[in-house]
Amino acid sequence: MAIKHNQKLVNNHFRKDWQRRVRTHFDQPAKKKARRNARKAKIAAFDPRPIDKLRPAVRCPTIKYNRRLREGRGFTLAELKEAGISRHVAPTIGIAVDHRRQNLSEESLNTNVNRLKSYKEKLILLPRKSKKGDSKTGQLKVDTSTRLT
């Protein structure tokens, strides 16, 4: 139990075969390697599709980190509108949407709109159910030289 209130610190009695209960982290390098291999396997399995949803480039909060760019939660509705993508279609084609986020500057808006447009150019949509006028499976060769990440 946790120590609460104004009590004395308990004396630790390590008498129950404590050597067997010591937690070591000697497997750290092996786990690092396993995680890396799992990431590579996931990329290979999903290729040429992106692993995760496309997310916006946002600035970190606070003075200490605001020079740094990172991936945000999702694109704003204004960014989607500017890029010509419907808010309902976006999640179906692998684009994250955050309806709460607001654009505070034109610069960030333009950056993310360009990000969306370049994604849209590279996007190859294959039909889920084939119809009469669609291409045959042999003709639907996907260019694997350009990966979306």
pLDDT, one tens digit per residue, over 102-118 is 999 999 999 999 999 99
Question: In the chain, where are the structural domains located?
Answer: 51-122
Dihedral sign (CA 42, 45, 50, 53): negative
Q: Is 61 helix (H, G, I), strand (E, B) or coil?
A: coil
Amino acid at the residue 83: A
Structure tokens at 112: 């993310």
Q: Is 54 helix (H, G, I), strand (E, B) or coil?
A: strand
pLDDT, one tens digit per residue, over 27-84 is 999 999 999 999 999 999 988 888 899 999 999 999 999 999 999 999 999 999 999 9
Can you give the pLDDT at residue 142? 57
Peptide bond just before 48 cis, omega within 30 deg? yes
Given 3-state DSSP classes, what are the helix, strand and coil percentages for the chain, each rounded to the nearest 5? 35, 5, 55
pLDDT category of residue 4 using cuts at 50, 70 and 90:
confident
Residue in 103, 117, 121, 100 with CA at minimum distance from that of residue 59? 103
Q: Is 13 helix (H, G, I), strand (E, B) or coil?
A: coil
Residue 82 makes CB contacts below 8 A (sequence gap 6+) with 109, 113
